[in-house]
């Protein structure tokens, strides 16, 4: 079965540190890839997405992700995190017809 793996369950960083969250998927076909963010007490929001084209995707709030097909990866990055980036981050992949498969999520805590 298709699956999405997020290697880091909890990440703690200081403000201005760089961030990279890993995401790997197991599916050999054409994929659409997403990162969602859930801020404390808020609902799930789309951070960025990849459908095709340039494998380096830029999203909101300075986040970017790189699709590396050979590694089945779609890692999320931000050069300098802020306290307001404290949230839970979910990687997701569409499988078949718009069915989203989510990773287990990574809780990011940014200390001021």
Partner 1 sequence: SAVISQKPSRDICQRGTSLTIQCQVDSQVTMMFWYRQQPGQSLTLIATANQGSEATYESGFVIDKFPISRPNLTFSTLTVSNMSPEDSSIYLCSVLIVGTGGFNEQFFGPGTRLTVL
Nearest CA-CA partner of 35 in 25, 27, 43, 23: 23
Choice from 11, 13, 22, 49 touching partner 1 (CB under 8 A): 49
Q: Which tokens hold the place of 79?
A: 């050069």
Q: How far apart are CA 100 and CA 34, in angstroms?
A: 9
When asked if residue 99 is in the footprint of partner 1 (CB under 8 A), the reply is: yes
Is 18 or 104 the residue whose CB approaches partner 1 more closely?
Answer: 104
Is 16 or 46 the residue whose CB approaches partner 1 more closely?
Answer: 46
The answer to whether the CB of 90 falls within 8 A of the CB of 21 is no
When asked if residue 102 is in the footprint of partner 1 (CB under 8 A), the reply is: yes
Nearest CA-CA partner of 35 in 82, 75, 83: 75
When asked if residue 27 is in the footprint of partner 1 (CB under 8 A), the reply is: no
When asked if residue 104 is in the footprint of partner 1 (CB under 8 A), the reply is: yes
Q: How far apart are CA 64 and CA 62, in angstroms?
A: 7
Write out the binding residues for partner 1, residues 29-48 only, by CB under 8 A.
32, 34, 36, 42-46
Instruction: Give, in degrees to the nearest 5, the angle at Cα 23 between 8 and 109.
Output: 35
Minimum distance, C-beta of residue 49 to partner 1, in the bound complex (Å)? 7
Q: Which residues of the chain form contacts with partner 1 (CB under 8 A)? A: 32, 34, 36, 42-46, 49, 51, 90, 98-105
């Amino acid at each position: 079965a298709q699956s999405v793996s997020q290697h880091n369950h909890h990440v703690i960083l200081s403000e201005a540190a760089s961030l990279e969250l890993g995401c790997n998927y197991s599916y050999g076909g054409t994929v659409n890839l997403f990162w969602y963010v859930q801020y404390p007490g808020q609902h799930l929001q789309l951070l960025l997405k990849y459908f095709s084209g340039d494998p380096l995707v830029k999203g909101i709030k300075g986040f970017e992700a790189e699709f590396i097909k050979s590694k089945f990866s779609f890692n999320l990055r931000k050069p300098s995190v802020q306290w307001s980036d404290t949230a839970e981050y979910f990687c997701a992949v569409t499988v078949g017809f718009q069915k989203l498969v989510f990773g287990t999520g990574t809780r990011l805590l940014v200390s001021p």
